A and B are shown apart, each in its own frame.
Chain A
C-alpha cells in the first residue's frame, strides 16, 4: 500500500519520544521529541512539535518549538508559529507566519550562528571602547588639574574603576560583553611596575 509509506500523526495523537526514519511525515497531532526524517515533513494547523525537526523539506502550518533544519527547503505558511532557528538552502515565510529565532538560508555552515555572535560581541566591545575614552576624558583633565605628577596613574586607576562599573552593568544588560579595553596612557619605563606595586 502506497498510503502506508506516508506517516500521519493524527490530531488526537500525542507522541512523547523520537521520531526517525524515511518517507514523508504529516503531523496533525502533538510530538514532544526530535523529528528527523529523510522525506518531507508537514506540520498541520493543528500540529504541535515541541522539539527540533530535521528533514529534506519542512512545511509548517502549525506550531513548532525547536530548530528546523532542512536539506531542501523550509516553508512557513500562514498560521505557522515557530520558536527556534531555521536553516535550509531555501526558506519561505508567508505573511501571517510567526517566527522567533535565527534564520539562515544558503548552504551548509554550522558555524554561522557562533561567528555572528562573535561579530556582535566585537561590535559591542568596539562601541564600549569608543564610550570609554569619552567617560575617562573629564576625569583625566580633573586629575591633571589636581595633581600633575599623579595624572598618569589617575586615569589608569579611574579606567580600572569605570571598567568594573561597566562590567557589573554588563552583567545585568546583556549587550556589553566583558570589560572594555583599558585606557592605557603612555608610560615611562618602570612606571607600570610601580603602578602594580601601588595597587597591592
Chain B
C-alpha cells in the first residue's frame, strides 16, 4: 500500500521528499527523493531527478534516476535521462534515451 499518491489531475511543482512509497499518476516537476519505492504510473509525468529505492516506471520521466535498488522501465515507459542503479530492466515497448550506470 502506497503512502503517497499524486493523483492523475494533480500537478506538483517543487520538491517532494518522502520516507514512504510514492506513486505518481499526475505531474511532478522539480525533485523527487524517496527512501522507499517510487512508481510512475501510466499517464504519470515526472520532470525531475528521482532519487529513491526501487523505481518502476510506466509513464514519462525526464530527468536522472538514481536508485539504491532496481529500476524497471515497463511497457509504455518513456525515459529521457541517465539511470544509475544496481539492477535495471527495460521492458519491450519502453522508450529510453540516456546512459546506464550499474556500478560495476
Chain A: residues with CB nearer than 8 A to chain B?
A: 3-25, 29, 33, 37-39
Q: Apart from A4-B7, A6-B7, A11-B20, what 8 extra A-B contacts exist at CB < 8 Å?
A: A5-B8, A7-B10, A7-B26, A8-B2, A14-B16, A18-B12, A21-B11, A39-B9
- B20 with A19: CB separation less than 8 A: no
Count class of interface residues, chain B:
20 to 34
Q: List 27 A-B contacts (CB under 8 A).
A: A5-B7, A5-B8, A7-B5, A7-B9, A8-B3, A8-B4, A8-B5, A10-B4, A10-B18, A10-B21, A11-B20, A13-B3, A13-B4, A13-B16, A13-B17, A14-B17, A15-B12, A15-B16, A16-B15, A16-B17, A18-B12, A20-B13, A21-B11, A21-B27, A23-B8, A25-B10, A39-B9
Determine if B14 is an interface residue (Cβ-Cβ < 8 Å).
yes
Using A17-B15, A18-B13, A19-B12 as known contacts, say yes or no to A10 and B20 having CB atoms under 8 A apart: yes
* Chain A nearest CB, measured from B93 CB (Å): 20
The interface residues of chain B lying within 8 Å CB-to-CB of A19 are 10-12, 14
Determine if B50 is an interface residue (Cβ-Cβ < 8 Å).
no
Determine if B101 is an interface residue (Cβ-Cβ < 8 Å).
no
Per DSSP, chain B at the interface is strand
- B18 with A21: CB separation less than 8 A: no
List the 9 closest pairs (A to B, CB-CB), nearest first.
Answer: A17-B14, A10-B3, A22-B9, A12-B19, A7-B7, A21-B10, A23-B9, A13-B18, A10-B4
Closest to B3 in A: A10
- A11 with B3: CB separation less than 8 A: yes
Q: For A33, give its contact among B6, B8, B14, B23 (CB under 8 Å).
A: B14
